[in-house]
Structure 1
Amino acid sequence: MTLPTSIKCIIFDMDGVVIDSEEIHKKAYFETFNFINVDVTEELYKTFTGSSTLNAFQKLVAHFQLDIDPEELVLEKRQRYVNYFENDPALHLVHGVKELIEKAYQQGITLILASSSAMENINRVFNRFQLNDFFKAKISGADLKASKPHPEIFEKAASLSGFSKENCVVIEDSDNGIQAANDAGIFVFGFRNPLAADQTLEKADLIIDDFSQIYTYL
């Protein structure tokens, strides 16, 4: 995709882009895997990154041919995640993202959050770090029919922005999310988060290591 000559909307992924929560998500997932006595390899876990929790557990149940309701596993994992979220004082925003959010907002750029996380987790993050005032809309992939890498979430985000896809950009740190943006026909920055080093970002339109690299395009 070609970078828009005029960026009117930035669509943010949340985990790994707005908040450094990949590690606590991983801990919560693996505690749940241990709870049901399945041995999940790093390679298999990598395929879950960027997907909704329900979609991840649907894949897990199918892979191991388990006689377990994936929705029950979602609740198990969510309980563990919330415990980490509320009790880990080191949890923080990704370095530089607050500055990018504030700068884009001040320039009149519309901001949309498009995350595979459940809305209660999105609200938990936005309330804790006081982000609500900056964003026009928040979308949870858990409320949609399909999960990333399906493009539905980004198509909806572009629609809610009120601008054409040609004036929107996505910021993603996962290969599933990047694929979703590709299929939605929206330019995507691949953010290289050190905590998601297993993601190749190879299909991103432009790879960045620091959010300040986006400033020049605003």
Structure 2
Amino acid sequence: MKDFKAVIFDMDGVIFDTEKLYLDCCVEIGEKYELEHVEEACFRCIGITSEASARIMYEVFGDDFPLDSFRGEVDELFRARFDERLPIKPGVRELLTYLKGEGYKVAIASSTKKESVKKELAQAKFLDFFDEIICGDMVERSKPNPDIFLKAAECLGVAPDSCIVIEDSYNGIRAASAAGMFSFMVPDMLKPDDEMRSKASVILDSLMDVKEYMRHKCQKSNCVPACRKSSLTL
């Protein structure tokens, strides 16, 4: 059995319940711009960097699409509604407390810029739980490439196959699989399809389920992928 030493979290959609809220803001501003298919386009941007999502938006809406203005208005609307503190996914604090108590190293691997990640974690009083924060602007290639998870493992001083990843997005699970890491998929907006069921080590409905799974099936020394339970940034 593999000796697991570290747990790497995605942030949006895993720690913070932001993706549906941000998508709602995109749709609202999209109506102002009289855009068609804005929800579908923004949906494709879940779990990737702003550079990668820009390519999608220009592909859908054309090279003359005023992306900077659109992003600015979406961000302004989102901040007006949620800037004081982002809504937290159930079970986050309990899982983080359990992991630190068991001696795991813990990291964030998020496509969001580091300044924003640190601010949001600090507001939620989660910052001290994390040994490392790795963000999309610290690696060359975004998810689904494995770079961000491999960088997290390197910074933690842990071999990739000794890491567990917790993700909600398709690209995040693809990246974890490409990195050779054990992964929990906790679906948020994107429900697991056949590809995700083949690439994710375990699929669970909530972070509380992850905690219970790790308590009962993941000793500090091993983790058994015994059963599967199915249920954005611009």
> Per the alignment, do residues 119 and 48 of structure 1 end up closer, same or farther by CA in structure 2, a change over 3 Å counting?
same
Q: 1:31 aligns with which of 23, 28, 34?
A: 28
Q: 1:98 aligns with which of 84, 93, 97?
A: 93
Residue equivalent to 1:176:
171
Residue equivalent to 1:205:
201
Contact residue 11 and residue 170 of structure 1 kept, 8 A: yes
Runs of 5+ unmatched residues, structure 2: 221-234
Contact residue 11 and residue 168 of structure 1 kept, 8 A: yes
Displacement of 1:207: 0.8
Contact residue 54 and residue 142 of structure 1 kept, 8 A: no
Displacement of 1:18: 0.8
> Per the alignment, do residues 43 and 36 of structure 1 end up closer, same or farther by CA in structure 2, a change over 3 Å counting?
closer
TM-score scaled by length of structure 2: 0.80
Contact residue 164 and residue 182 of structure 2 kept, 8 A: yes
> Per the alignment, do residues 84 and 150 of structure 1 end up closer, same or farther by CA in structure 2, a change over 3 Å counting?
farther
Displacement of 1:103: 0.9
Per-residue CA distance 1:107-128 (angstroms, 9 max, x = gap): 2110000011222331232111
Displacement of 1:172: 0.3
> Per the alignment, do residues 74 and 149 of structure 1 end up closer, same or farther by CA in structure 2, a change over 3 Å counting?
farther
Tell me if 1:63 matches 2:60: yes
Residue aligned with 2:25, SS: helix
> Per the alignment, do residues 197 and 63 of structure 1 end up closer, same or farther by CA in structure 2, a change over 3 Å counting?
closer
Q: 2:141 aligns with which of 123, 140, 146?
A: 146
Indicate the structure (1 or 2) with the bigger Cα radius of gyration.
Answer: 2
> Per the alignment, do residues 66 and 149 of structure 1 end up closer, same or farther by CA in structure 2, a change over 3 Å counting?
same
User: In 2, Cα distance between the equivalents of 1:142 and 1:30?
Assistant: 26
Displacement of 1:82: 2.1
RMSD: 2.3
Per-residue CA distance 1:121-148 (angstroms, 9 max, x = gap): 3123211111111111112214433221
Contact residue 41 and residue 60 of structure 2 kept, 8 A: no
User: In 1, Cα distance between the equivalents of 2:94 and 2:177?
Assistant: 26
User: In 2, Cα distance between the equivalents of 1:86 and 1:135?
Assistant: 22
Q: 1:8 aligns with which of 5, 9, 13?
A: 5
Displacement of 1:71: 4.9
Residue aligned with 1:11, SS: strand
Residue aligned with 1:18, SS: coil
Residue equivalent to 1:124:
119
Residue aligned with 1:145, SS: coil
> Per the alignment, do residues 84 and 132 of structure 1 end up closer, same or farther by CA in structure 2, a change over 3 Å counting?
same
Residue aligned with 1:114, SS: strand
> Per the alignment, do residues 38 and 198 of structure 1 end up closer, same or farther by CA in structure 2, a change over 3 Å counting?
farther
Displacement of 1:177: 0.7
Number of positions where the alignment pairs a residue of Structure 1 with one of Structure 2: 211
Residue aligned with 1:171, SS: strand
Per-residue CA distance 1:147-193 (angstroms, 9 max, x = gap): 21122111111111101011101000011111111112211111133
Displacement of 1:35: 4.4
Runs of 5+ unmatched residues, structure 1: none
Residue aligned with 2:148, SS: helix
